[in-house]
């Protein structure tokens, strides 16, 4: 059982308080203006969504989850994260709402097919998966107990194209429908993130880098995105997850639903996190 390491840090510690927090975020000026409604009117196959304190990130993430809700309820939500090793876990996650269960059959098949190790610590030491779970449970509140996730840790040593094909084949073999949730921030600027390449005109330069990053994603150019992140030494905390999602889905349409920075909210420029909600169709 994976403990909730973000309760009281990223989000409130009780279900009713999170409900209020997310109701406000979804209806806020920076949010989509409405709470999620499950339907099948859209064809979103994956979303890219921020990882930060919900006070900052939830209104942005709400755009992605609203569109996810409009694309039906899949058998499993695949959640790729960046790590030092390629691994899967079968352990259940916890949140103030309740448990979030892992699709163990899917994970076992992925382990067998790809050689990914079983390494639960990779997922407990990272906040990437945990940061999304209350949002996912809130969005699909009427089917909360049915939610199944497949967290996958990726390292730079793994060939992402072949890994994407393996995931597709496992899903077909098991007859699983899926959606992909990629938790990532676009840039994390500040000494805490070992990314301080400039000290003047920080916001403008971050926004310029973000524009290039978002264009690479919008144009469905995963290899170009990798080159851009590498050449600029960007502090993008899950770019491998983004690349895998683009390879796995190969979207015809990529929409940046929302984008802003923490500076837009608090005016702080020693620490700036740029975040976006992006849908892949």
CA distance 82 to 104: 20
Is residue 279 very low, low, confident or very high in pLDDT (cuts 50, 70, 90)?
very high
Is residue 166 very low, low, confident or very high in pLDDT (cuts 50, 70, 90)?
very high
Share above pLDDT 90 across residues of the chain, in percent, rounded to a whole number: 96
* CB-CB contact of 30 with 60 (8 Å): yes
pLDDT at 160 over 80: yes
Q: What is the pLDDT of residue 40?
A: 87
Q: What is the pLDDT of residue 38?
A: 86
Least confident of 102-111, 153-162, 226-235: 153-162
Closest CA to 150 of 187, 109, 191: 109
Is residue 158 very low, low, confident or very high in pLDDT (cuts 50, 70, 90)?
low
Helix/strand/coil for 21: helix
Q: List, in sequence order, the alpha helices (H) in the chain.
A: 15-27, 54-69, 104-114, 121-124, 133-139, 160-174, 202-218, 222-231, 239-249, 263-266
pTM of the model: 0.97
Q: What is the pLDDT of residue 159?
A: 84
pLDDT at 157 over 70: no
pLDDT (tens digit, 9 = 90+) per residue, 50-67? 999 999 999 999 999 999
* CB-CB contact of 155 with 85 (8 Å): yes
Number of neighbours of residue 116 by Cβ within 10 angstroms = 22
* CB-CB contact of 274 with 210 (8 Å): yes
């Amino acid at each position: 059982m994976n403990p909730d390491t973000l309760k009281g840090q990223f989000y409130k510690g009780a279900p009713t308080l999170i409900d209020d927090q997310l109701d406000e975020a979804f209806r806020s000026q920076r949010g989509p203006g409405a709470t999620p409604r499950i339907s099948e009117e859209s064809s979103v196959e994956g979303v890219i969504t921020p990882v930060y304190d919900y006070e900052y990130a939830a209104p942005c993430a709400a755009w992605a989850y609203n569109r996810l809700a409009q694309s039906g309820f899949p058998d499993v939500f695949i959640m790729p994260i960046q790590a030092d090793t390629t691994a899967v876990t079968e352990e259940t996650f916890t949140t103030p709402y309740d448990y979030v269960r892992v699709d163990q059959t899917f994970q076992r098949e992925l382990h067998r097919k790809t050689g990914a190790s079983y390494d639960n610590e990779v997922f407990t030491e990272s906040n990437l998966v945990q940061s999304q779970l209350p949002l996912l449970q809130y969005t699909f509140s009427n089917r909360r107990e049915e939610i199944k996730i497949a967290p996958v840790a990726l390292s730079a040593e793994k060939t992402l194209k072949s890994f994407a094909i393996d995931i597709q084949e496992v899903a077909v073999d098991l007859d699983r429908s899926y959606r992909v949730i990629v938790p990532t921030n676009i840039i994390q600027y500040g000494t805490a993130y070992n990314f301080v390449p400039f000290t003047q005109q920080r916001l403008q330069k971050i926004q310029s880098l973000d524009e290039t990053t978002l264009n690479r994603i919008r144009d469905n150019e995963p290899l170009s995105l990798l080159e851009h992140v590498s050449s600029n030494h960007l502090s993008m905390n899950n770019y491998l997850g983004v690349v895998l999602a683009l390879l796995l889905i190969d979207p015809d349409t990529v929409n940046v639903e929302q984008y802003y920075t923490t500076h837009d909210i608090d005016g702080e420029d020693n620490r700036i996190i740029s975040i976006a909600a992006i849908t892949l169709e």
